[in-house]
Amino acid sequence: MKALTRLAATAEQTARAKTPPYTPAITFNLSSKHQTQRKPSPSCRSFSVSRMRTDPFKPAKRVAGQRQDVWSIVNEAAEQSNVKPMVNMGQGFFGYNPPDFVLNAAKDALNRVECNQYSPTKGRPRLKKAIADAYSPFFDYELDPDKNVTITTGANEGMLSAFMGFIEQGDEVIVFEPFFDQYISNIEMPGGKVIYVPLHPPKDGATKTTSAGDWTLDMKELEAAVTDRTRMIVINSPHNPVGKVFSKDELQAIGDLCVKHNIIILSDEVYDRLYYVPFTRIGNLSPEIAKLTLTVGSGGKNFYATGWRVGYLIGPEHLIKYVSAAHTRICFSSVSPLQEATAVAFEQADAHDFWNQSKKEMQAKVKRFCEVFDELGMPYSDPEGGYFVLANLAKVKLPEDYEFPPHVASRPRDFKLSWFLIKEMGIAAIPPTEFFTEKNAHLVEDWLRFAVCKNDDILDTAKERLRGLKKYIH
């Protein structure tokens, strides 16, 4: 009997190994608007008083039981702070408008009838073509706007659509710690299980400034995390919140592992235009890796318009079509006038030398802000890309008698540091343990994340307020 059980298990594993990794999670009817529905039997219509819900307002498990999130804690502290105005370097929204050529495109689109109506669910043709034209030089093949590009309502919804398109109940998705917190709920919504693999901070990161590239991935840990249930792996480069740009060798090792085990790669590259060291796209490393890779991009991140919620995915047709199918069920289509404006932005960016200027300006903001940590003798992780800076505040000694509310006192030290800076100095930063599991939160309990995508006068105000930490440094 045991032999039969082992044989059956082996057969199941073999079947999974032979199944193409891009088989969709749901059988979407891509050609018809209507699905055949089975007529319920009379027994299905019966109603039992004994089975009535005692609590009709009980939420589903997928949204119930969550502890207070970091964003609401930071906002709560900001509201209570006596230091005004608050300098918000917590969330990664821009402190300034998109350039004029982008804003004018949005205004023009609002005056056109067709731009105020539904767009095709896969995205406006002009935007898909603009993205295909902009990204084809980065890949070894010419992108087909209709087969290799799909538009989503922000990069986050695009990633949710990818998970919804390919994840079944019990499938595993590997995520690197620290992680963007939305990954987790997006994976769990369709029934996926998150498998965490940590990035390790530099050993001397608490005593001296280091490069974000010194955060390392242990490939043996990654290989050990792969099982016969592993369906996808999420990569973020440039990385939020670390600022690491994964090297070509690192991405090659990850890609080769995914090819070996038929694992779909979801590459979150929303900061792909803000890199300060050589940047490699994993989807361009080899034809075998390209077949498995979905690249995620963000018009909002690229053009300083995070509220526009214009995202996109690039990849082979056998992956893109199921992302599009899931997106159709989630929100049908995305905002028409802002899609049109984003198309114009991509079309005109080179003529305005926008990419080079935005990169140069953001790198200057990083340097400008980090001067205060050099003054205070506080080490930080020098970002290789993006607009987040992780600073190590281990030298800051919080007053022993300082009162923290219970929901902050029960969290790691970085939450207390964040609360203290907001309340006493009027500067908001994010505690990065929120982006780690409890097991690995100790790795960053002395760090805070600062977003530098703000006007220079705001950065200067933040620096002046941070100088107030001098009396707490021992």
User: Residue type for 221, please?
Assistant: E
pLDDT tens-place string over residues 300-330: 999 999 999 999 999 999 999 999 999 999 9
Read off the amino acid at residue 174.
Answer: I
Count CB-CB contacts under 10 A for residue 375: 12
Picking from 321, 306, 355, the residue whose alpha carbon sits closest to that of residue 138 is: 355
CA–CA distance from 404 to each of 89, 349, 408 (Å)?
Answer: 21, 47, 6
Per-residue model confidence (pLDDT) at position 107: 98
Sign of CA dihedral 449, 452, 453, 458: positive
The 10s digit of each residue's pLDDT in 268-288 is 999 999 999 999 999 999 999
DSSP 229: T
CA atoms within 13 A on the CB side of 124: 24
pLDDT-above-90 percentage for the chain: 78
Contact status, residue 423 vs residue 408, Cβ threshold 8 Å: no
Tokens of 104: 């004018």
22: exposed, middle or buried (C-beta count within 10 Å: 0-12, 13-18, 19+)? Answer: buried
- Alpha-carbon distance 447 to 433, whole Å? 8
Flag whether pLDDT at 34 surpasses 70: no
Task: Share the mean pLDDT of the chain.
Answer: 90
Confidence band (pLDDT; 50, 70, 90) for 140?
A: confident
Instruction: Give the pTM.
Output: 0.88
Q: What is the pLDDT of residues 107-120, one digit of tens each?
A: 999 999 999 999 99
Please determine, for residue 4, whether its predicted confidence score (pLDDT) is greater than 50: no
CB 415 within 8 A of CB 433: yes
The alpha carbon of 466 is separated from its chain's Cα centroid by a whole number of angstroms, namely 28
| pLDDT score of 13 more than 80 | no
Q: What is the pLDDT of residue 135?
A: 97
Query: What is residue 74's predicted lDDT score, i.e. its pLDDT?
Result: 82
pLDDT at 64: 76
Chain centre distance of CA 100: 27
Contact yes or no for 269/281 (Cβ under 8 A): yes
How confident is the model at residue 206, as a pLDDT?
87
Average pLDDT for 208-224: 97
Q: What CA–CA distance (Å, rounded) separates 431 from 24?
A: 37
Can you state the percent helix, strand and coil of the chain, rounding each to 5? Answer: 45, 15, 40
| Structure tokens that stand for 307 in this block | 């509220």
Q: How far is CA 417 from the centre of its chain?
A: 24
Count the neighbouring beta carbons within 10 Å of the beta carbon of residue 283.
25
pLDDT at 16 exceeding the cut of 60: no
